[in-house]
Structure 1
Amino acid sequence: MARAPRIVAFLGTQTLGDFIMYHLTAASVARSTGGRLMVVYRRDRPYKDLLTLMNPHVAHRLILPDDPARVAPLDWFFGGGDAPATDWAREGFDNPDLFLTPTMLDMGRCLTPVPTLRLPADLEPGLAAALVGRGLRPDRWFMALHMREPFYPHRPHGVTPRNVDPATYLPLVAHVIRNLGGQVVRLGDPSMTPLPDLPGLIDLSRDDDGFPLQTFALSRARFAVMTDSGPTQLASALGTPTATTNACGIGVWRHGDLLMTKAFTTADGRVLDTPHLIDMGVLTLHTRYPLEIDHRANEPERLAAVADHMLAATADGPGWRAPAAGDPPAEPQDTVPLPLPWRHIPQFADLTVWEPAGAPP
């Protein structure tokens, strides 16, 4: 019997969204080949260890220190005996069949169906109890919400069209709680703008070390309304029905996920529709912003309507949504083409597209 291929992936990024997508692409290659996966990453963000535990395809990990002067030790992976005496080296990962670099791990190269991340089962009871302790009722569904702002301490130069004004989302929050009968869990970090104290709104962004609890909340939300930021990729990776609003790129990939871009408006007042933006290459994950383009935010009433759509599009239930069961089935392949073929996300995901106000119908 042939041995399983040994695959090593260098997850060479700091950002949450890219780190998640690199994990998924690496997992898709391991799954498609029936291979065993080892990941290499730098411990420079607090969420990386947990996300790695959430990837069921990872057999080993090599954690590099948070030191920009240290790079991935490629000499350890050429089978020359330079690797330290570790379990992964004894299992042959010092001489892998395939070494995936960051440029090979772009989400457009993920082999479909896209894998799913899942929290370790032993963490879930404690996180569920913590969420109840914060005031979330388990007998009622809830929406997860994230609104990107420019204050994140790890991204000090965060002024970008991807940011939004949280005040424009308050009618959405009120609509979900008062009219739709749901609850709202706000995600983020303490640098974000505080929200009004509303019954049914649980703001987890005030926590300094809240990533595990926020991840659990995302995994159990009936749906998530997000903006153009890393937590959007986390929601989609968990299999949570997701709407990305005020988007400047496409960062969701589950069938039925909703995309509504900001209104990309030209100097003469034309609003470019989504197919036009895709053809221009604007909405890739390596977003290029055209010159002389204004980015107009989605209107509050449109954001509230997104919740109506997501509620109708998701399964009804007495309380929190059950987490995704695991990876969608995929047939093992005898070979994987190299370079991994690149596709734009709409080429492999059947997204629901809402045009921003003013775009051609």
Structure 2
Amino acid sequence: MSQADFNQSMAWLKTLAAKKREPRQPEKIMVFFAGRGLGGFVLENVVAAALVRPFPRAYVVAIYKNSPPYREFITDCNPYLHSEMKADADSDITFLLDWFDIGWAAPVKCPLPEWSERMLHEPDLVLLPSMLSVDAARLAGLAEKPPVLRLSAGCEESLLAALEGHGVDPNEWFACLHVKEPNSGADDRPRRGADPRSYLPLLRHVALRQGGQVVRIGAPGAFPLPGMEGVIDLAAAPFAEQAAAISRARYFIGTDSGPVTLASAFKVPAAVTNALGYAKR
């Protein structure tokens, strides 16, 4: 080897070594969501957003089973996700590991063109559900500057128009209320439930004393509220409209259930009632 070739090789090695010392920023991140219930799924989105936020150049793909259907709406509200791969609700699997084998003899190939075009079979970082089911309060910087979900640009205008159609005054403020009723759905913590009638004094206080409207959200078939001026019942409205109401509320009051987590993710001040389970956490 000539001296010139030696010098050139050493210069190349020094350049390579310098690059190795620099932390490599991930360019492709895959996030697997499998949160239990609305609150768990929302929390996973918040944790994932906090973890990928330091890498603004990364392309982030969300993978999950689209059941219940509110999951797609939640991921659409996550501005840190760039693409989605959704398994059908009745599918036995969410994702095939065989897709990572892109050889010509691979037994199963991903049908999405994006998979090969963006070389998603070679992700730089993979976030699994177990990595997302952490105590969010333990993540450095999350409390000081939490990532915020927001209504997607494609549906925001129509959802706000729907709220106005239900009687929500766009020029006035309103509070949002959710009361999980006893024996509503599968629940391993039945004491979280409450009688909606016990919240009627609160409704009157907000509407008559504070001068705001109250938007009640809930599940179809929820206990009907008596007709009260300034109180709007959206329990029978689609989930997306109820979520839009949460995102625009001045504050949120609710029992220990998924909607209060969604309110926090929208950065809406929230107060939790019937939170007996917190004593064991």
TM-score range, shorter chain: 0.7 to 0.9
- The 1:83/1:8 distance shift into structure 2, 3 A limit, reads farther
Kindly indicate whether the alpha-carbon contact (under 8 Å) linking 1:14 and 1:45 is maintained by their aligned counterparts in 2: no
Structure 1 gap ranges (5+): 251-276, 284-361
Partner of 1:65: 88
Letter in 2 for 1:168: S
Kindly indicate whether the alpha-carbon contact (under 8 Å) linking 2:180 and 2:193 is maintained by their aligned counterparts in 1: yes
Which is richer in helix? 2
Partner of 1:30: 52
Cα deviation for residue 78 of structure 1 reads: 6.4
Partner of 1:201: 231
Percent of matched pairs sharing the same residue: 37
Kindly indicate whether the alpha-carbon contact (under 8 Å) linking 2:182 and 2:195 is maintained by their aligned counterparts in 1: no
For residue 228 of structure 2, give the secondary structure of its aligned residue in structure 1: coil
Corresponding position: 1:91 with 2:87: no
Corresponding position: 1:221 with 2:249: yes
Q: 1:178 aligns with which of 191, 208, 222?
A: 208
Structure 2 gap ranges (5+): 1-18
Q: Which runs of 4+ in 1 moved over 3 A?
A: 1-4, 77-83, 155-159
The CA RMSD over aligned residues, in Å, is: 2.3
Letter in 1 for 2:131: M
Taking the aligned partners of 1:32 and 1:58, their CA distance within structure 2 comes to 13
Partner of 1:266: none
Taking the aligned partners of 1:183 and 1:121, their CA distance within structure 2 comes to 25
Kindly indicate whether the alpha-carbon contact (under 8 Å) linking 1:14 and 1:44 is maintained by their aligned counterparts in 2: no
Taking the aligned partners of 2:97 and 2:276, their CA distance within structure 1 comes to 35
CA offset digits 1:325-358 (Å, max 9, x no partner): xxxxxxxxxxxxxxxxxxxxxxxxxxxxxxxxxx
Partner of 1:130: 162
Taking the aligned partners of 1:102 and 1:3, their CA distance within structure 2 comes to 22
For residue 197 of structure 2, give the secondary structure of its aligned residue in structure 1: helix
Partner of 2:264: 236
TM-score, structure 1 as length reference: 0.64
- The 1:233/1:79 distance shift into structure 2, 3 A limit, reads farther
CA offset digits 1:211-238 (Å, max 9, x no partner): 1111111111111111101001110101
For residue 58 of structure 1, give the secondary structure of its aligned residue in structure 2: coil
CA offset digits 1:172-213 (Å, max 9, x no partner): 011111111111000111131111111111000023xx1111
Taking the aligned partners of 1:77 and 1:170, their CA distance within structure 2 comes to 55
TM-score, structure 2 as length reference: 0.80
Taking the aligned partners of 1:139 and 1:56, their CA distance within structure 2 comes to 27
For residue 32 of structure 1, give the secondary structure of its aligned residue in structure 2: coil
- The 1:115/1:78 distance shift into structure 2, 3 A limit, reads farther
Taking the aligned partners of 1:94 and 1:240, their CA distance within structure 2 comes to 38
For residue 210 of structure 2, give the secondary structure of its aligned residue in structure 1: coil
